[in-house]
Structure 1
Amino acid sequence: ALEGDALALGLAPAMSLADARAQEPGLRVFDLDPHADQDWLERLCDGCARYTPVVALDPPHGLMLDITGCAHLWGGEEALARAAADRLEGAGLTVRHALAGTPEAAHALARFPTAPAPDEDAAVRRLPVEALGLEPDSATALRRAGLRTVADLAARPAAALAARFGEEAVDALHRLLGLGQRPLAPRRPRPALRVERRFAEPMASTAHALQVLEEMAAEAGEHLAERGQGGRKFEALFFRSDGLAFPLRVETGLPVRDAPAIMRLVRERIDALSDPLDPGFGFDMLRLTVPRAEPMAPTQLALEGGTVRREESVAALVDRLSIRAGRQRIRRLVPGDSHIPEQAQLALPAIENRAPAAWPEWQEASDPPMRPLHLFDPPQPIEVVAEVPDGPPHRFRWRRALHEVTRFEGPERIAPEWWQARDGAVEGQSIGRTRDYYRVEDARGRRYWIFRHGLYGTEAAHPRWYVHGLFA
């Protein structure tokens, strides 16, 4: 990539670095960092949310804004586009923009500027075939066939174009001409609630911005209360005067609409940031959105507290821990719909999964099967000696120690979940054979839960044995 001054010196993007340095010894070179470029583009995308709620990334270096219904707030489409371009150029960026009726036309007109045309359709038809966004080989094939512009393609029958150059060329042509359209994928979906504050002068203090945000949280709570809802996800966007925006997201385990509770989580999030929230030349706009809201019924509180109060206290603790340590590190055990022992319970993010009111009870008349206090995941392999191949273990070696079996119970057979099998394997599992479990006790009174993996003859010639758990 080259800046404008480098292009003016006669340098070209395809030129080697050695040739460029020979032509211009004082050339400044920077390493390409795609991740930093993507992060910068996403921040610009968030910053352009001040103009319209529907902003999408247009990789590798573009943004797409749907300004339908928003242009009148800025004095028209041209005024809105000029305001956005001026703000980005003020941040040191080189901006090319275009207004069109479809995303594909705007994309092409911004990247392939043409001579002034009487209308959008005429401007689009003057574009080169490269504006279709096809692969380089396809664009070269079109040019070799004498089709150099969009107008040349539009004059040909669609069936003939599809037969020679493929359906992709016809689809791209139709989208560019407005005969078809691919919907935008906005970076942020439409929230359930949104509250904004704009300032006449940029606010250079983060503390003052948080005070305003608390007022906005109280206003959002009032709107949620009118709907009988509470928020599960909140997002605060701090818009800087240089065009960038910094998002802060918090989640809750239970619906909330209390402003102090929301702000406590926001401050926890700010304290957990690796880089502090930088106001730069000041924040000129704040936005608080509620992407996810759920019904929140009134609760009756007992004087001595009770289960409702305890549930709210635990949920508040989970919210704060998830923000500090990360949502994937704070987990809660929930029952799993599986009879495979290591999948009978799942460790899921606690902030997304409420604690079950009660674990499912054993539905059969007999007692539930005994399970060890400690479970190994994955099971640990052992060497077993049995009197008969498919019989109970007589002795086994585990961790280089030999254990003589004095008593055993079993077998308890657990079949694989055949309904999830694909090509003989069980999806998401490393063990997909029948298991025969035994509860065994060695000469020193220690009890183990071991199993034989596979049936002799039908599933394995020499099934292996594993220790899966330890009893107290």
Structure 2
Amino acid sequence: MRLMALDRKALEAGLKPGQGLAEARAMCLGLDAVPADPQADRQFLAALADWCSRYTPLVARDGMDGLFLDITGCSHLFGGEEGLIADALSRLSAMGLEVEGAIADTPGLAWAVARFTPAAAPQARIVPTGERAERLAPLPVQALRLDPLVVEGLTKAGLRLAGDLLALPRAPLARRFGPMPLLRLDQATGREDEPISPRLPVAGLSCERRLAEPVTREEDILFLAGELARGLLPMLEQRGLGGRLFELSLFRVDGAVFHVHAGSSRPLRDARRIEALFAGRFAALQEDLDAGYGFETARLSVSHAEPLESRQMDLGRPAETADSLADFIDQASARFGPDCLKMPVLLESHLPERASALVPAREGLAAEAGPPASASPFRPVRPIRLFRYPEPVEAVAEVPDGPPVQFRWRRAVHRVVKAEGPERIGAEWWIDGEEAPTRDYYRIEDEDGRRYWLYRQGLYDREPAQPRWFMHGLFA
């Protein structure tokens, strides 16, 4: 058992991460050790990253104990870089966390300054653009995020500070210690780019509201969502877009963050309909959304948008009923989940069982609203009821390739009085293989007036498999 993390008093006592627990107890008799919980640590860091998204949507994890925030273009919202870092550190300290932070032009330099230059003044945590090398030089080589073995080799060679590496020729340094020291130096000083990967996708459009007084009531939150939706309207109109998926982020005063998603079957700009979607979501969440002492910040983001074109309304009915079906599907999906309603959609296949599929109604309605498919001059007749799996039947035909005159299905014998067909459908060889048989479909009517849809699988004297008959659907 080894030490994973230490507090300040343990570090002052001379203990180090990775040290054996037995050795640590011998050095510090009053050591209080608790089992490590990496899963809980990851969840806590994820929650902290959600909280930091109030400053910027570009938040990335840094190992198990750090975060990178790309605040480009965001600092002016908090009174500049000094105001932003002061606000963040003071809020985190009020939550009982001991944190360090720094702002620099490069992630590597910000990481080094935050971890190896603790400072109380906000201005001391900010590295000006022209002072990268000067601020990096007095830091130890551990600030370059190097492997412990490389750090040990540099220390044995007398290179204890980052400034010692900056003064050395690059070629001998790379031959002896590898390329990583030079890469980390270049990343910290800005010679080499080091992009960060946000943990969550960044929304293209968003609108945020900071509240003077926290809100707790659901009615107030919904009203706030409607106001944020109205704030998004000019940006959506300017781009000719409508939102399909919206995310409402609610920042609670104690640091907890809630993300509520609401989707639509068609692109939306109407603030009233967006507010109604979140009303359905809140009704579904019920006790899962705990306002606590209230939410102090709210942000509405458009996670997915599509082009929204103006269309002529039906003059024969009121405008408020024109999208009644879409409203109903959206409300039901928001309240009971996206899979509560399903509808059939056409697929690219000639085989009847593959020509359609049941999808969530929200997706099916969106597919219908898309560009129309090319009209086919041939519209085959299909039965009202199509079996999921064709059922085998015993059929007798006057000629091998002709329609049946009698068939036996589900232990009942039916005599055929009328038959139409065949409608020949070739196999999809790219799916079923080249040996898949051809089908000949017939519309059959028996003596009692019942109509069936049968097909013969296989062609006589053309395909090696013995032809068989199947029942695939019922007309009426």
In the superposition, the TM-score normalised over structure 1's length comes to 0.70
Whole-angstrom distance in 2 between the partners of 1:122 and 1:465: 85
Q: Which residue of 1 aligns with 2:292?
A: 280
In structure 2, C-alpha distance between the alignment counterparts of 1:336 and 1:451, rounded to whole Å: 23
Q: Partner residue of 1:436?
A: 438
Deviation at 1:438, TM superposition (A): 4.2
CA shift at 1:86, angstroms? Answer: 1.7
Matched with 1:192 is: 205
Spell out the pairing of 1:62-81 with structure 2 (5 A cutoff).
62-81=66-85
2:100–2:118: 8 Å Cα contact kept in structure 1?
Answer: no
Select which of 351, 360, 363 maps to 2:377.
Answer: 363
- Residue 38 of structure 1 deviates from its aligned partner by 4.6
- Give CA deviations for 1:74-122 in whole Å, capped at 9, x if unaligned: 3442332121122122223332322221224334544566999994335
Count of residue pairs brought into register by the alignment:
442
Structure 1 residues 383 and 371: alpha-carbon distance in aligned structure 2, compared to 1, 3 A threshold: closer
Matched, 1:297 2:300: no
Q: Distance in 1 between matches of 2:31 and 2:59?
A: 41
Q: Following the alignment from structure 2 to structure 1, what is the Cα–Cα distance between the partners of residues 414 and 182?
A: 74
Q: Secondary structure at the match of 2:67?
A: strand
Out of 85, 91, 95, the residue aligned to residue 89 of structure 2 is 85
Work out which of the residue numbers 140, 149, 164 in structure 2 matches 1:140. Answer: 149
Q: Does 1:471 align with 2:474?
A: yes
Q: Is contact 1:403-1:443 (8 Å) kept?
A: no
Query: How far apart in 1 are the matches of 2:345 and 2:351?
Result: 15
- Report the 3-state secondary structure (helix = DSSP H, G, I; strand = E; otherwise coil) of the residue aligned with 1:255: strand
CA gap 1:284/1:142 in 2 versus in 1, 3 angstroms: closer
8 Å contact 1:238–1:285 — kept in the other structure? yes
Instruction: Tell me, in whole angstroms, the C-alpha distance in 1 between the residues paired with 2:317 and 2:191.
Output: 67
- Cα distance in 2 between the residues matched to 1:457 and 1:6: 87
> Is the 2:144–2:181 Cα contact (8 Å) retained in structure 1?
no
Q: Look up the SS of the partner of 1:92 in the other structure.
A: coil
Query: Do residues 252 (structure 1) and 264 (structure 2) align?
Result: yes
Q: Does 1:47 align with 2:51?
A: yes
Mapped partners of 1:124, 1:455: distance in 2: 84
| Matched AA of 2:436 | T
Percent identity, please: 28
- Computing the radius of gyration over CA atoms, which structure comes out larger, 1 or 2? 2
- How much does 1:254 deviate? 2.8
d(CA) in 2 for partners of 1:392, 1:142: 85
Determine helix, strand or coil for the equivalent of 2:209.
Answer: strand
Once superposed, what is the RMSD of the aligned Cα atoms? Answer: 5.2
Match of 2:327 in 1: 316
- Contact 2:170 2:182 (8 Å CA) reproduced: no
Which one-letter code corresponds to 2:474 in the other structure? F
Cα offset for 1:37? 4.8
| Superposed counterparts of 1:45-444, under 5 Å | 45-110=49-114, 119-124=131-136, 126-128=139-141, 131-132=144-145, 140=149, 155=168, 157=170, 161=174, 174-186=186-198, 187-194=200-207, 196-221=208-233, 230-273=242-285, 275-291=287-303, 292=305, 294-295=307-308, 297=310, 299-302=312-315, 304-305=317-318, 311-352=322-363, 353-354=365-366, 356=368, 361-364=375-378, 368=380, 373-376=385-388, 379=389, 412-416=424-428, 418=430, 426=431, 434-439=436-441
Is contact 2:144-2:185 (8 Å) kept? Answer: no
Distance 1:30 1:267 in 2: 41
> Is the alpha carbon distance of 1:471 and 1:73 closer, same or farther for their aligned partners in structure 2, counting shifts above 3 Å?
closer
Aligned to 1:197, what secondary structure does the other structure show?
strand
CA distance 1:351–1:433, change in 2 (3 Å): farther
Q: Secondary structure at the match of 1:284?
A: strand
1 CA distance for matches of 2:408 and 2:455? Answer: 12
Deviation at 1:270, TM superposition (A): 1.4
Q: Tell me by how many angstroms 1:320 deviates.
A: 1.0
Residues 408 and 414 of structure 2 are in contact (CA less than 8 Å); yes or no, is this contact kept in structure 1?
A: no
Q: Deviations over 1:196-222 (max 9, x none)?
A: 332334344454344444444444447
Which residue identity does 2:96 align to in structure 1?
G
Query: Residue 203 of structure 2 contacts residue 302 of structure 2 at CA under 8 Å; is this kept in 1?
Result: no
Distance 1:120 1:446, change over 3 A: same
Q: Is the 8 A contact 1:453 1:466 kept in 2?
A: no
Q: In structure 2, how many angstroms separate the alpha carbons of the residues matched to 1:269 and 1:18?
A: 53
TM-score (norm 2): 0.69
Q: Which has the higher contact order (CA 8 A, sep 6+)?
A: 1
Give, as a single letter, the amino acid of the residue that structure 1 aligns with 2:202: P
Distance 2:434 2:169 in 1: 58
The answer (yes or no) to whether the contact 2:393–2:471 under 8 Å persists in 1 is no
The separation in 1 between residues aligned to 2:472 and 2:136, in whole angstroms, is 70
Change (3 A) 1:439 1:464: closer
Distance 2:411 2:173 in 1: 78
5+ residue gaps, structure 1, are: 419-425
Q: Are the aligned partners of 1:254 and 1:315 in contact in 2 as well (CA < 8 Å)? A: yes
Q: Structure 1 pair 470/383, CA: closer, same or farther in 2 (3 Å)?
A: closer
Distance 1:375 1:176, change over 3 A: farther
